[in-house]
Structure 1
Amino acid sequence: MTRSTLWRQEVTKLEAYVPGKSIEEVQKQYGLSEITRLASNENPYGPSPKAIDAMNAAAADSHLYPEPTSAELRGKLGTLYGVDPSQVLVSNGADNVLMLIGQAYVNPGDEVVYCVPTFSVYRTSTVVMGGVPIEVPLTGDYKFDLDGMLAAVTERTKLIYLCNPNNPTGTIVDCAALEEFLKKVPPRVVVVLDEAYGEFIDVPSYKTGAEYVREGYPVISVHTFSKLYGLAAMRVGYAIANPDVLAPVLAVREPFPVSRMANSAAAASLDDTEYREFILRTNREGLAYLSEQLRQMNVGVNPSYSNFLFADLHRDAAPVVEALMKAGYIVRPCKSWGYPEHIRITVGSPDQNKGFIEALRTILEA
């Protein structure tokens, strides 16, 4: 008998998540002292100074369990989005929130609809609960096929996932089209709007998931402090939904999911609006610079509404990715998403962006 015979049957259908290469791994592999990681969509400037101060202050109370409901943070998020704090759930990162949603809603045989490629946790959270993933391909221009998703809805559909902006393509759903889509979704189906990169959308009057929640749609809007706010190591994510929609998610959430330091850092980040605007401005400038430089090298660039670019090298990306690592730059190859000629590039600081472009240009010319 092998140990695998003891596994839950659903686990045998899953593969472990494979993250982008770590800085430490590449340093050791190539003997480099300086590495720039543009693979994991991290904030190149780190957290707000106010968040760092808050973390340091909270560390002194690390012997005490955190306040279990993240009351202060939920209050600030409620003010930010115009919802009652009872409509906000805080947990250990957005991916944890997504797993909780699967645990709360998916029974064996239930169907969950989403487009591919997209964030892998949608499939994982479905399969591990015995659900059936219904995967609809993206359109030719890398956008969500809303009509195809609606056509895939059956009596067994329980959840629909929309990653907006989508990871790895950076595309968004047209606001008017999304509203029409939500009106056509049967009210018994919960739509999960994964807005991990939602703060980067730079479109006037674009509606957030919280607005659909306020209007009464059965929507769960999921966010993270890992991207815009630079708190990836702290693991803070949250969901916004009406209390009856959140109730089963709260029931399966662990008792103390967010540390004192993480709660304090997230709350302080929301207070630092000047830093937030700095990050958004430099990201827009970085997107524009990288897009223009890549196009000059005949690299296909998809319009992005996030903090990364989905770039078509028009050749096998693997040797280019390898050469970039040797030059000290880590990007994310997209072969696992079905795009072997694409890479995903995180927007870095101006110096990081410039250094990356120079390295890529040298590699492509060679």
Structure 2
Amino acid sequence: MKPVLLPPLDVPLTLELASNENPLGPSRRASKAIQDALLRINRYPERDCFATEERLARLHKLTPSHVVLGPGSFGVLRLLVEACMPAGSEAIHAEPSYPMYRALIHKVGGRPIAVPLTADHRHDLTAMGQAIGPATRLVIICNPNNPTGRPVSREELDAFMDQVPPHVMVVIDEAYYEYAEGPGLPNGIDWIRKGHNLVVLRTFSKVHGLAGLRIGYGIAQPQVAAMLRQLRDPFAVSSLAQVAAQAALDDRTHVAAVRVLNEQVRSELCAALDREGLHYIPSVTNFVMIQCGGDDVSLVERLAEQGVRVRPGTEYGMRGWLRVTVGTSEQTQRFLSTLLSCLDWSLVRASCP
């Protein structure tokens, strides 16, 4: 699915709710670490990223040999796709899900196999398992899923992992894991500890608020992580990104504050949508998918003219839907008032279940 490009705006005080960014920004510790490192940016960053990988290994109670840092979790996924997918091979992913999976697969000459979500907008792991064939090299699971915000359960993932054949690598993209972390969400790293052929992707772009620095990581079996490190470009992760990430990991208070705000405002948003009679997909992340009916791209353009940016569902193959980031209470109120002023209610009523 081709991304929808949003035009530049001249509207003052643009409200950015299209990219699932953290409205609180980075922690003060991370900001201070960046400031302290500024006088050293004449030096190249640590080539092997060992200090940051060692810090992540301690966090997850693994060895540094399990961890590979990259320029965003997408940077790690790119290395994995390039390494594991010869031309003509297949990779399975859910649909709708993050559209860049398909783009990466096509880029290496692979064939994406899209498996529709279930009726309640979750990964159909049974169907994904049945889609595995001799040419399959990767299965990508976005958990929780972007754009629907729905998770798979531990029981579902456990049953799926037990049936994956040895020639297939499973990738679990946990970009939004920290927003939903708890008893109801499986931690993909648990299956790495069990010895499965698996890569778990995490990012500092979301709950840690470091999207502009492009830093993420993968957790994998040591031989896989070593392969990815060999493929990683020299100095792929900037020195500022590395020091900020290490400081962010030490600030659990900030992460807790981000989660509390997100849960509070997401509840406020969903309650308001219920009052207005707008259908949405219940989410465990920092975004909500809202059904508005009609031409969502035109609706996004009208919202942008009012200084509010959101993501059109058409980008994910979900025409008539909008994906909105959970911001602050004030931002949510502005979004709602702008949305209600732009909606065609006849289309809303026609689209609702």
Note whether the superposition's TM-score is higher than 0.5: yes
* Structure 1 match to 2:9: 26
1:212 is paired with a residue of what secondary structure?
A: helix
1:45 is paired with a residue of what secondary structure?
A: coil
2:113 is paired with a residue of what secondary structure?
A: strand
The aligned runs of 1:61-140 (5 Å cut-off) are 61-140=40-119
Native 8 Å contact 1:97 1:237 kept in 2? yes
* Structure 2 match to 1:174: 153
2:212 is paired with a residue of what secondary structure?
A: coil
Native 8 Å contact 1:59 1:260 kept in 2? no
1:75 is paired with a residue of what secondary structure?
A: helix
Distance 1:363 1:206 in 2: 36
- Cα shift at 1:333: 0.5
Distance 1:362 1:99 in 2: 41
Give percent identity, aligned residues only: 36
Aligned length: 345
- Cα shift at 1:140: 2.1
Distance 1:292 1:190 in 2: 40
* Structure 2 match to 1:189: 168
Distance 2:305 2:332 in 1: 17
- Cα shift at 1:50: 0.9
Q: Write the deviation string for residues 58-84 of structure 1: whole angstroms up to 9, x where unpaired.
A: 111111111112222112211221111
Distance 2:37 2:110 in 1: 40
Distance 2:133 2:142 in 1: 21
Pick from 237, 244, 248: which aligns with 2:223? 244
Pick from 227, 230, 243: which aligns with 2:209? 230
Q: Write the deviation string for residues 2-49 of structure 1: whole angstroms up to 9, x where unpaired.
A: xxxxxxxxxxxxx8x746637xx122xxxx211111000001111111
| Residues 149-158 or 316-325, more deviating | 316-325
Matched, 1:40 2:23: no
Native 8 Å contact 2:151 2:185 kept in 1? no
Distance 1:61 1:35 in 2: 34
Native 8 Å contact 1:99 1:121 kept in 2? no
- Cα shift at 1:322: 2.4
Native 8 Å contact 1:107 1:129 kept in 2? yes
Distance 2:324 2:72 in 1: 22
| Residues 101-110 or 124-133, more deviating | 124-133
Distance 1:178 1:44 in 2: 31
Distance 1:365 1:334, change over 3 A: closer
Distance 1:362 1:121, change over 3 A: closer
CA-based RMSD of the aligned residues comes to 1.7
Matched letter for residue 338 of structure 2: A
Pick from 180, 195, 209: which aligns with 1:201? 180
Matched letter for residue 123 of structure 1: R
2:127 is paired with a residue of what secondary structure?
A: helix
Distance 1:234 1:20, change over 3 A: farther
Native 8 Å contact 2:91 2:112 kept in 1? yes
* Structure 1 match to 2:239: 260
Distance 1:338 1:279 in 2: 30
Matched letter for residue 26 of structure 1: L
* Gap regions ≥5 residues in structure 1: 1-14
Distance 1:205 1:358 in 2: 33
1:213 is paired with a residue of what secondary structure?
A: helix
- Cα shift at 1:339: 1.3
Q: Write the deviation string for residues 158-190 of structure 1: whole angstroms up to 9, x where unpaired.
A: 110001111111111122111110111112211
- Cα shift at 1:365: 7.5
Matched letter for residue 124 of structure 2: D
Pick from 34, 52, 73: which aligns with 2:31? 52
Matched letter for residue 119 of structure 1: Y
Matched, 1:285 2:264: yes
* Structure 2 match to 1:308: 287
Distance 1:202 1:255, change over 3 A: closer
Matched letter for residue 214 of structure 1: R
* Structure 1 match to 2:129: 150
| Residues 215-224 or 120-129, more deviating | 120-129
TM-score by length of 1: 0.90
Q: Write the deviation string for residues 268-313 of structure 1: whole angstroms up to 9, x where unpaired.
A: 0011111110001100111111111112222111011111001111
